[in-house]
Amino acid sequence: MLRNRHDVKPFKMAIRPGDTVVVIAGKDRGKRGQVLRTLPDRGQIVVQGVNLRKKHVKAGQSAAGTAALQGGIVDFEAPLSYSNVMIVCPNCGEPTRVKRVVLEGGRKAIECRKCGQPFEHLRRGEEQ
């Protein structure tokens, strides 16, 4: 498919699903929420309870074919730009910029610019 834009390379985001962020720009400025998913190829994230949109859904059958889906208006969270949010430090509770650091043993983490404490992201297998 031809497009009139350059190939956008996905960049590494410091924000991951499960992190708490605060919106710093747009109509939902000041709201805090948890990241549901990230879209690194588009540079966007989806935050719970932020950037709500309405979608009109037609009634129909489900994939299994046994139960019918109810039609109506459904609220959903639309993606917003990665640059419009700041991560909230779990140690000091303030929105902050982050710095990437390497800890002893070679593990990578991000460090809060305000309190200076590093915090590691839990990987999917390590969740408690």
- Domain borders along the chain are 10-61+70-88, 91-121
Q: Cβ of 77: how many Cβ atoms within 10 Å?
A: 17
CA distances to 4, 63, 89 from 120, in Å: 39, 40, 11
pLDDT recorded at residue 12: 77
For residues 84, 89, 93 and 96, what is the CA-based torsion angle, rounded to 10 degrees? -50
Domain at 10-61+70-88: CATH code: 2.30.30.30
pLDDT recorded at residue 126: 46
Question: What stretches in the chain show pLDDT beneath 50?
Answer: 123-128
pLDDT recorded at residue 127: 45
pTM of the predicted structure, to 2 decimals: 0.75
